[in-house]
């Protein structure tokens, strides 16, 4: 099938490469020449396990190419819109200007029978509005909404083998055709009995934001319990294990620590709240304000914990920060709790040396004033305190002997990912968010 993917950022680049991997003939389109040049050379513009391999193999097979020329979308039957919907500057609402611009630019290139498929996360009501825009095209074309649930670090795996497919389709006679085209796109996943839910536009849009709102709520729930645990001497990790055995609750996404960041959860819950207010339903989603507040409080607490551990003042103290990415297996530092804490400690006068296996270049771009170290050994040499802020596998596996060059023996675990007994047994002062 001939497919175009408009927007080659995180979502689009992965989607384009995966669609080609599944055997489709794909053109990826973006207005950013540098991004297109990098992708055309087989280089992923961000760190994502497995992506370079499928980019290279799909491009070698001739099934995948990248361009800045929207006219090259004209042969495609299905066009995925995968541009960003960032948070508006100074507001909570989503900025839809890229989505609007992408659909508008695509209109003159649509052929008869084409299907435009929205993948970007948008406020409910957007698809109905864009469907009118698509209907104004000079040909007979339709719009569908097909949200994406991929996780960074597992993006290729999640796109090739999604846990469900959601098709938001028009209520018109074009409905069956839209479903048939999407079934053709996702034939491989459907052959594996992937659940497929056909909905209206509004439901499809809401599935995405409500899923993210639920996940964010789950994390903030356990982080609120961590606050209570800290005050009462309880252990939040044992609490999570114990409540997680109830299958109605489930243990996944109950890891307490520095909280959620990244390009999705924080902005999506804010945009969802803003949309609720626009709909006159502010009270229905007001709890998301609390979810956000609990999440941001974890960062304050981490800074406070560091201050406490260092005798009440961080000024002039050497602090090693292990982890800058918002989560492991990613170089993404958008709204990263780890990077935020590192920056705040430096602002308070600490001498921070930060490291990360992948996210130093991305961190340097937004915070060039921070000091970075290439290795754990370099970051921790002479450190008065060591902070683990992203739970990379190699940090979880650290042994006290690996930090022999540190000046102090204080380790602060921002992700509850270290073995307390191992560190305390070796004479270290171990402190964490939510463990005694």
62 is in an annotated binding site: no
Nearest distance from residue 224's CB to ligand UDX, in Å?
13
SS (H, E, C) the chain: CEEEEECCCHHHHHHHHHHHHCCCEEEEECCCHHHHHHHHCCCCCCCCCCHHHHHHHHHHCCCEEEECCHHHHCCCCEEEECCCCCECCCCCCECCHHHHHHHHHHHHHCCCCCEEEECCCCCCCHHHHHHHHHHCCCCCCEEEECCCCCCCCCHHHHHHCCCCEEEECCCCCCHHHHHHHHHHHCHHHHHCCCCEEEECHHHHHHHHHHHHHHHHHHHHHHHHHHHHHHHHCCCHHHHHHHHHCCCCCCCCCCCCCCCCCCCCHHHHHHHHHHHHHHCCCHHHHCHHHHHHHHHHHHHHHHHHHHHHHCCCCCCCCEEEEECCCCCCCCCCCCCCHHHHHHHHHHHCCCEEEEECCCCHHHHHHHCCCCEECCCHHHHHCCCCEEEECCCCHHHHCCCHHHHCCCCCCEEEECCCCCCHHHHHHCCCEEEECCCC
393 is in an annotated binding site: no
Nearest distance from residue 243's CB to ligand UDX, in Å?
13
Q: Which tokens is 434 given?
A: 């939510």
Query: Which CB atom, from 10 or from 98, has the smaller least distance to ligand UDX?
Result: 10
Neighbouring C-alpha atoms within 13 Å toward the C-beta of 345: 36
35 is in an annotated binding site: yes
208 is in an annotated binding site: yes
42 is in an annotated binding site: no
154 is in an annotated binding site: no
Contact partners, residue 154, CB within 8 Å, separation at least 6: 49, 329
132 is in an annotated binding site: no
Using an 8 Å Cβ cutoff, are 330 and 48 in contact? yes
Nearest distance from residue 273's CB to ligand UDX, in Å?
16
Determine how many CB atoms are found less than 10 A away from the CB of residue 227: 17
Query: Which CB atom, from 168 or from 262, has the smaller least distance to ligand UDX?
Result: 262
Query: Which CB atom, from 147 or from 408, has the smaller least distance to ligand UDX?
Result: 147
Query: Which CB atom, from 118 or from 261, has the smaller least distance to ligand UDX?
Result: 261
What are the residues binding ligand UDX (CB under 6 A)? 149-152, 212, 215, 219, 253-255, 257, 259-262, 264-265, 326-327
Query: Which CB atom, from 73 or from 339, has the smaller least distance to ligand UDX?
Result: 339
* Separation of alpha carbons 6 and 19, rounded Å: 13
255 is in an annotated binding site: yes
18 is catalytic: no
Nearest distance from residue 290's CB to ligand UDX, in Å?
16
Nearest distance from residue 415's CB to ligand UDX, in Å?
7
194 is in an annotated binding site: no
Query: Which CB atom, from 30 or from 332, has the smaller least distance to ligand UDX?
Result: 332
Nearest distance from residue 260's CB to ligand UDX, in Å?
3
Query: Which CB atom, from 186 or from 428, has the smaller least distance to ligand UDX?
Result: 186
Neighbouring C-alpha atoms within 13 Å toward the C-beta of 146: 25
Active-site position among 8, 18, 264, 417? 264
Nearest distance from residue 60's CB to ligand UDX, in Å?
28
237-243: Cβ within 8 A, 24+ apart:
237/416, 237/434, 237/435
CA 31 distance to own-chain centroid = 22
Query: Which CB atom, from 218 or from 317, has the smaller least distance to ligand UDX?
Result: 218
Nearest distance from residue 147's CB to ligand UDX, in Å?
8
118 is in an annotated binding site: no
Annotated binding site for NAD(+): 30, 35, 85, 121, 152, 267, 334
Annotated binding site: 30, 35, 85, 121, 149-152, 208, 253-257, 261, 267, 327, 334
Annotated binding site for substrate: 149-152, 208, 253-257, 261, 327
Catalytically active residues, by annotation? 264
């Amino acid at each position: 099938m001939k497919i175009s993917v408009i927007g080659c950022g995180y979502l689009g680049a992965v989607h384009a490469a995966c669609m080609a991997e599944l055997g489709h003939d794909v053109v990826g389109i973006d207005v950013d020449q540098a991004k297109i040049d990098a992708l055309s050379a087989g280089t992923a513009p961000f760190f994502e396990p497995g992506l370079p391999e499928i980019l290279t193999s799909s491009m070698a097979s001739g099934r995948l190419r990248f361009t800045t020329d929207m006219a090259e979308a004209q042969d495609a039957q299905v066009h995925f819109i995968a541009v960003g919907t960032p948070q508006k500057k100074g507001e909570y609402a989503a900025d839809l200007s890229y989505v609007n611009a992408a659909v508008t630019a695509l209109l003159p290139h649509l052929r008869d029978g084409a299907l435009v498929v929205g993948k970007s996360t948008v406020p409910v009501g957007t698809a109905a509005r864009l469907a009118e825009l698509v209907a104004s095209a000079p040909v007979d074309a339709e719009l569908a909404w097909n949200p994406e649930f991929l996780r960074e670090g597992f993006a290729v795996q999640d796109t090739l083998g999604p846990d469900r497919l959601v098709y938001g389709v028009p209520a018109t006679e074009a409905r069956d055709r839209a479903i048939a085209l999407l079934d053709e796109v996702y034939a491989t996943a459907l052959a594996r009995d992937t659940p497929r839910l056909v909905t209206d536009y509004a439901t499809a849009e809401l599935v995405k934001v409500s899923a993210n709102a639920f996940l964010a709520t789950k994390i903030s729930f356990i982080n609120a319990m961590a606050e209570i645990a800290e005050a009462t001497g309880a252990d939040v990790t044992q609490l999570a294990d114990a409540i997680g055995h109830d299958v109605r609750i489930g243990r996944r996404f109950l890891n307490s620590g520095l909280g959620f960041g990244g390009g999705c959860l924080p902005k999506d819950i804010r945009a969802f709240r803003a949309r609720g207010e626009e709909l006159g339903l502010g009270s229905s989603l007001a709890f998301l304000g609390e979810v956000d507040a609990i999440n941001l409080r974890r960062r304050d607490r981490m800074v406070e914990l560091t201050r406490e551990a260092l005798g009440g003042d961080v000024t002039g103290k050497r602090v090693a920060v292990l982890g800058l990415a918002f989560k492991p297996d990613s170089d993404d530092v958008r709204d990263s709790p780890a990077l935020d804490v590192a920056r705040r400690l430096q602002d308070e006068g600490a001498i921070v040396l930060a490291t990360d296996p992948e996210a130093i270049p991305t961190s340097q771009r937004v915070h060039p004033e921070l000091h970075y170290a290439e290795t754990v050994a370099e970051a921790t040499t002479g450190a008065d305190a060591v902070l683990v802020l992203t739970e990379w596998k190699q940090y979880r596996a650290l042994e006290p002997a690996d930090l022999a060059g540190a000046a102090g023996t204080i380790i602060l675990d921002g992700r509850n990912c270290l073995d307390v007994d191992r560190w305390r047994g070796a004479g270290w002062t171990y402190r964490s968010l939510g463990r005694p």
